[in-house]
Chains A and B, each alone.
Chain A
Amino acid sequence: MKNHSLWRDAFGRLFQDKWAVASFIIVIAYSLVAILSAMGLIAYDWAREVGGSNLPPSAEHYFGTDIFGRDVLSKVIRGTQIAMSVGLATSLIAIPIGVILGAFAGYFGGWVDDLITWLYTTFSSIPNIMLLISITMILGKGLFAVYVALGATSWVNLCRLIRGEVMKHKEREYVQAAGAIGGGHFRKLFKHILPNVTHIIIINTSLQFQIAIKSEVILSYLGLGVQGEPSWGTMIDDAKLELSRGVWWQLAGATLAMFVIVLAFNLLGDALRDSLDPKLKGK
């Protein structure tokens, strides 16, 4: 017997969308590259000198070499690992904070809501870049600082969305029904309401992911990013100087790699929204 959960239906719709499938494959491919690189199976020797300094792209080195004669392709791959890890870690930090605070604010209302609303109003009224820079400075820079800084700034939006949605769902009869059969707050909130707002988390994550990747590039460019590892941001930063020597391949490699994954996440985010958001169903 076939049973259609809403998820199944949604993903069914999703996979009929060619763009979404292509984007999904790209995301999977990037994730694989990132995992393989993290396991040390590929691009582990990115730091090795493989040829002369600043060699242009060739059959041997598709993206050429950098100033130290390192293979740019390996650096791009290594950068993929960094970028994906930034996206992932940011989500892992931002989602629990955003979801829990948003859910509590929306569900309990009253002073809990006041407090949490105050917290995110405060956070969102300070320019993001200020928070990003100061947090990375406090934590002493590096990858961990980037994770925390991006995580600490990106929960706000999710929190606001979840709060609004939980407020809406709280009034729905199925939640009251759960109350009527004796379900406590915990059950109502986590078992009933949250599964019904999960689509928001998924959509938000796919979009947040690419924002995190872009932010990492900007932070690295400002000298606050990853240290001692080739991230796309540091590569673009390097390229700023190298362009003058006609060395464009490092910029091109990093920009291209970033473009493809950001584009994929954007398209996927749109497709997810179209297929998961019950409001848009059947359009």
Chain B
Amino acid sequence: MKFLSILLCALIFSGCSKERNFDERELHLISLEKFAGFDPIQVSDRYSGNETGKVYEGLFEFHPFKRPYILVPNLAESLPTVSADGLVYTFKLKKGVVFHDSPCFKDGKGRELRADDVLYSIRRLADPKLQAKGWWLIDDKISGLNEWRTKYASLDHSNYEEAIDGLKKIDELTVQITLKKPFPQFLYALAMPYTFIVPKEAVDHFGKEFLNHPVGTGPFILEKFEQSNEIVYHKNPTFREKFYPTEGAEGDDKLGLLADAGKRLPLVDKITVHIMPESQTQWLSFQKGKADLLELKSMYERAVDKSKELHQELKSKGIRLFMDPMLDVTFYAFNHENPFFKNRKVRQAISLAYNRAENNKLFYNNSALEAQGVIPPGLGGYRKEFKNPYTKFDIDQAKRLLREAGYPDGKGFPEITIETRSETSARQSIEYFAKCMEKIGIVVKAGINTWPELVKKVSTKQHQMYTMAWGADYPDAENFLGLVYCPNQSPGSNGANYCNPDFDALFKQATILQDSPERSAFYEKMNEMVSLDVPWVFGFHRTEFYVAQAWLKNFKQMEFNHTQFQYLGVDLEVKKELSKKF
């Protein structure tokens, strides 16, 4: 009896979950992964980008509503002027942009943004002492920068004062950057978190703790940072005059996305980001109304029924479902250095034996698009009509090809291990892949790895096959085609170690072209050419799902969404009303 009464006491004592506050315009978000800290040059994944983007800003940003993605100036006054040879970029900065107030500045007041800050931030990206995750982006691109980096790689301190050809200050608000060779994606690079602008004072003042004390120009100021619990921001009171856009993509008007047009940003006073890596907790929290928005990674079945409609129960709470194709591709890559995979027929046979339709049903609720090639839809270079003859499901042909390759019914073919990450879904999808391969007599096993292990195996070419999803860094097919470009082979991003001289030649030509129908045609040709050679077993272009509470305003799915949060709003009336239902 004592036992029961004590248990009861414990329950009553703790049975008071927290009450919600309906007066503050506060956004509750969930981050699916932990975040290492606010140093833009180290921010390589989307979740880190989302946090960094609340505090820092870059010269450009992607328009929050217009699709396909277009760049609009953010800290830059306008789009740059580019020299005729495409090598010299001149940027004008906005006037009156100030950094957050911070003790790192002389009187604690945030100072104005200057041209030096831009150059300083780019140099930081190249600083060999910092080993930025984003170095690849400008590696061998800016005139004189690589030399500077190499020079200081073996010295104790990098000298930021030393002049670099490619990085020039014209006046306090004008910057000129000179490239070594044409790099049409350069402007995209300036919209990515890597190139967000940081003030030198903050870096010097906080030293290694800089990553916990961000000082940016962005719409929010960091208030609290608990790495594995929550991150809290409040509105930046000195944020420059920036207004909600007045135009969007077609139909955005009807969706009410432009209702706040012309309002001063940001729209909310506070953002709390809850760090929740476990999917069950994410989903339960959202359902309780504790979060306004949730990316449904593996939990979308909970929200969606077979017809991809939101469950009635959720609908009645006003919850809305968003889905949008992602700019990504999943694949099972062969290691082309493995002699068995040098035989194209083997690759084709394996690809043909893989039942994508069934896999789509089992794992993606039929929401994904079967990949025909490397490039996902939504990027120039993707051709809807293109069907790869080797991505259909045809066991007979697969068997025939395998026989022709010299392995009738898989005889003589070794057991294949596919390396993957240790997540449940990853393991299951290899189980499924193995099941498919069984039909043509090839034995497949899963190799489960932590992320570092997987990277190590692939970068040291210790793998037979591996599986991965590649998401776009910027909206340009070059980012995908590079995955099968020979010079990128391990430890580069071409983990398949695929080499095709014809393709490489085209790649070199195409990637120096500015975005144009001509370049898209080039890309199409390359994509289709490489696809027929089956460098990977192509998987899917996945769909991304979000659920949002009724009171969340202005949400539109966005691939590169680091700056999105200033546009989001909360309808407190609706929230108060609906909260009774939770």
Contact = CB atoms under 8 A, between A and B. Distances in A.
Interface of A: 47, 53, 67-68, 137, 141, 222-224, 227-228, 234, 237-238, 240-241, 243-245
B422 A223 contact: yes
B279 A241 contact: yes
A241 B424 contact: yes
A228 B450 contact: no
A244 B283 contact: yes
Given A141-B448, A227-B445, A240-B280, A68 B432 contact: yes
| Most interface-central of A53, A67, A244 (chain B CB within 10 A) | A244
Given A228-B445, A241-B298, A223 B435 contact: no
Pairs of residues from A and B, 8 with the lowest C-beta to C-beta distance, nearest first: A223-B422, A244-B302, A245-B301, A244-B301, A237-B424, A223-B448, A228-B445, A241-B298
A241 B431 contact: no
B424 A227 contact: no
Nearest to A244: B302
A161 to B, nearest CB: 30
B229 interface: no
Contacts of B361: 53
Contact of B422 (A47, A67, A224, A238): A224
B422 A240 contact: no
A204 B7 CA distance: 31
B139 interface: no
A19 B232 CA distance: 55
Pick the most buried of A68, A222, A223, A224: most chain B CB atoms within 10 A of its CB.
A223
Contacts of A244: 283, 298-299, 301-302
Given A68-B362, A223-B448, A238 B428 contact: yes
A53 B363 CA distance: 11
B362 A67 contact: yes
Contacts of B431: 68, 228
Nearest to A243: B280
13 contacts: A67-B362, A68-B362, A137-B450, A222-B422, A223-B423, A223-B427, A227-B445, A240-B279, A241-B298, A241-B424, A244-B283, A244-B301, A245-B301
Nearest to B424: A237
A245 B425 CA distance: 14
A223 B427 CA distance: 9
A251 to B, nearest CB: 12
A222 B445 CA distance: 18
Nearest to A225: B448
Interface of B: 279-280, 283, 298-299, 301-302, 361-362, 421-425, 427-428, 431-432, 434-435, 445-448, 450, 453
A67 B279 contact: no
Given A228-B445, A240-B280, A137 B424 contact: no
Nearest to A140: B447
Nearest to B420: A223
Contacts of B302: 244-245
A137 B456 CA distance: 13
Given A53-B362, A227-B445, A241-B298, A47 B435 contact: yes
A141 B425 CA distance: 18
A244 B284 CA distance: 11
A240 B425 CA distance: 10
A181 B429 CA distance: 68
Contacts of B448: 141, 223-224, 227
A245 B298 CA distance: 11
A228 B301 contact: no
Given A141-B447, A227-B447, 11 more contacts: A53-B362, A67-B428, A68-B362, A222-B422, A223-B427, A227-B448, A228-B434, A234-B427, A241-B298, A244-B298, A245-B302
Nearest to B446: A227
A228 B425 contact: no
Contacts of B298: 241, 244
B469 to A, nearest CB: 17
Contact of B435 (A68, A137, A141, A238): A68
B446 A228 contact: yes
| Max count, chain A CB within 10 A of own CB: residue among B301, B424, B434 | B424
Contact of B424 (A47, A224, A238, A245): A238
Contacts of B432: 68
Contact of A241 (B422, B425, B445): B425
Nearest to A226: B448
Contacts of B434: 228
B535 to A, nearest CB: 26
A21 to B, nearest CB: 29
A223 B299 CA distance: 19
Contacts of B445: 227-228
Nearest to B426: A223
A24 to B, nearest CB: 29
A68 B361 CA distance: 11
A137 B434 CA distance: 23
A228 to B, nearest CB: 5
A107 B423 CA distance: 48
Contacts of B423: 223
Nearest to B444: A228
